[in-house]
Amino acid sequence: MTGGRIRRAAGLAAGLKSAALGAVFATIVATVARLLGPLVVRTGIDDGIAEGDRRLIAATALVFLGLLVVQYVSQRIAQLAVATLGEKYLRILRSTVFRHLMRLDMGFYGRSKAGVLVSRMTNDIESIQEFAEEGAVTLVTNLLTIIGVAAGMLFVDVGVALQVFALILVLLVISRVFQTYAARAYREVRNQIGRVLASLQEGITGVRVVQAFTNEPGQAGDFGGVNEDYFEANMRTARAVAWYFPAVAFLRVAGYGVVLFFGGRRVIGGDLSFGSLVSLLMYLDWFFQPITNLSNTYNQLQSASAALGKLFALLDTEPTVVDTPGAVDLPAEIDGAIRFDNVSFGYLPDLPVVKDVDLEIPPGERVAVVGETGAGKSTLARLVLRFFDPDRGAVMLDGHDLRAVTLASRPHHVVLIPQEGFLYNGTLRDNLSYAHPGATDQELWSVCRAIGIEDWVRQLPERLDTLVRERGSRFSAGERQLVALGRALLADPAVIVLDEATANLDPETEAGVERALGTLLEGRTALVIAHRLRSAEQADRVIMMDQGRVIADGTHIGLIESSDSYARLVQVWERGVLR
């Protein structure tokens, strides 16, 4: 499983192959330089110290020092190369995941928790980053060291080497058991992190509701339960580490005993030189140390592998709303006629929210869609925006089935204005020109003038270059909504989908937004999700929905006279039960 994920991860970085090979080469040079050290020490002891050859002692000391310099330089190069490689790879991975998230449909976001998605882009990426910056070098270096040490010990003395290898077999069995258990534990840790973040975000986002109902203990208790599960998952990994590493340390000490006992007896017997025994002890230390390091690295690798699994599961999620084969762009200019042709749709199978809707909206008409909560009003708007495709029937724009139109061409002609104007962190210019990035200053000021915000913008510290801060927090709700209207006007769409843009505003601010809306909607087809009487009164036509069906269609005045259901809704509005 881990190997497959690593191979797939490597496939995302095909352009980094040369850099990876360079890092591996530098690591090999550093490792070889280190492994030659014990052989130089053996020569210095056996042929220098034992023979009293001062020149050979000095030469071997210089060679040993030279190997240390080569090791230091090449190891530093390797670490820097791997760190650079890792950061470049993570940049690619983040961009790949984010681009994919932006492609996923509204159905996916309806099923997913924002906290879990944030965890994918933060904690999971951080786990991979930890391995990329630290674990990768350790993994390559220690694997090469283990192979080199084994070869070196066999070269010095086959008998002692085989005795040590017997202990290594025991260590490999213990390591295998640890790896199997740790893999499950780390997967569970990754799952629980996502739950913790989701619960944390939910609690903080809804803190006003929590405090309004004085339910702080209950909310804290819910988070405490999730936090306890996370604690238990981490404790399972801690218990695995607690028995494994002492076992490794014990076998390491046992290895020293084996070499000293059998090797020392052979030195006394004259079958093994003292320099060979010293080199074997040096190799032995380097044998167990890399295995211990690999065990630590394995923890990082498992954590990174679990994170990769989550990210790949996300990348494997395909959007349900995609360009169909043969899809074409909408024409550059359209009239904005909308038609629902026997449309039915449900978010869940066998639970339709919109049922058998046949509806035509001619170009330039302002249509208000009314009805009780759950009647299907917002769903009708989402189908026009092609956030979803109908289960049956077709949604047509100027005679074009939206499923046969490219996704990229639809936003140029159909624009959504939600209840609350959403602004991105950046400048006012960035937000106004979001749908038209190449807009000139003249075009931006023209839009500001048309929407009625020119004087306000000119009074801002940096005018068009004023920072709006996160979610537009620098501005009031009305100001954010006016900027959103300006953004839509600059896009110059043929169709506007409006989710009651003045529903949450005070009367004075509402009047300004209403004037801007008049400018924006002039000559454009508008589908207005109406929550109050004023929107219905201003519409050219009113559609009333109930349980997913259109039950009334006409003018506001005409429906009051001809539809009892609409007349009752108007009475409710007039009594102020609904705004």
Angle at 261 between CA 256 and CA 262, to 5 degrees: 105
In tens digits, the chain (579 residues) has pLDDT values of 555 666 776 666 666 777 777 777 888 888 888 878 777 877 878 777 777 778 888 888 898 888 889 888 888 888 787 777 777 777 877 888 888 887 777 777 777 766 677 777 777 777 777 776 666 667 777 787 888 888 887 887 787 778 777 777 777 777 777 767 777 777 777 677 777 777 777 777 676 666 666 667 777 777 788 888 888 888 877 777 777 777 777 877 777 777 777 777 777 877 777 877 777 777 777 777 777 677 667 767 777 777 777 888 888 888 877 778 888 888 888 888 888 888 888 888 778 888 888 888 888 888 888 888 778 888 888 888 888 888 888 888 888 888 888 888 887 888 887 766 677 777 877 777 777 777 777 777 877 777 777 777 787 787 777 777 665 566 776 777 777 777 777 777 788 888 765 555 555 556 666 677 777 777 788 888 887 777 777 788 888 888 888 888 888 888 888 888 888 887 877 776 444
Residue 80's pLDDT is 81
Q: How many CB atoms lie within 10 A of CB 570?
A: 19
Integer Cα distance of 93 and 182 in angstroms: 25
Residues linked to residue 553 through DSSP beta bridges, in sequence order: 543
Same fold for the domain at 2-315 and the one at 338-574? no
275-299 exposure pattern, b = at least 16 Cβ within 10 A, e = fewer: bbbbbbbbbbebbbbbbbbbbebbb
Q: What CATH class is the domain 338-574?
A: alpha beta
**Whole-number Å distance between alpha carbons of 478 and 469:** 16
Place of tokens 């580490």: 241
pLDDT of residue 96: 81
CATH level 3 topology of 2-315: ABC transporter transmembrane region fold (1.20.1560)
Task: Please report which helix (H) or strand (E) contains residue 393, including its range.
Answer: strand 392-397
Picking from 406, 449, 143, 180, the residue whose alpha carbon sits closest to that of residue 286 is 143
| Rounded distance between C-alpha atoms, residue 539 and residue 236, angstroms | 62
Q: Domain extents for the chain?
A: 2-315, 338-574
Residue 45 is predicted with a pLDDT of: 82
Taking alpha carbons only, the member of 40, 96, 37, 46 closest to residue 72 is 37
Which one, of 383, 378, 372, lies nearest residue 342 by Cα?
Answer: 383
- Count of CB atoms situated within 10 Å of the CB of 149: 27
How would you label 33-70 residue by residue, b for 16+ Cβ within 10 Å and e otherwise?
A: bbbbbbbbbbbbbbebeeeeeeebbeebeebbeebeeb
pTM to 2 decimal places: 0.62
Q: What's the alpha-carbon Rg for the chain, to the nearest Å? A: 35
Q: Which amino acid is at 316?
A: D
Please give the span between the terminal C-alpha atoms of the chain, in angstroms, as a whole number. 56
CA separation (Å) from 200 to 115, 117, 235, 485, 534? 8, 13, 21, 33, 39
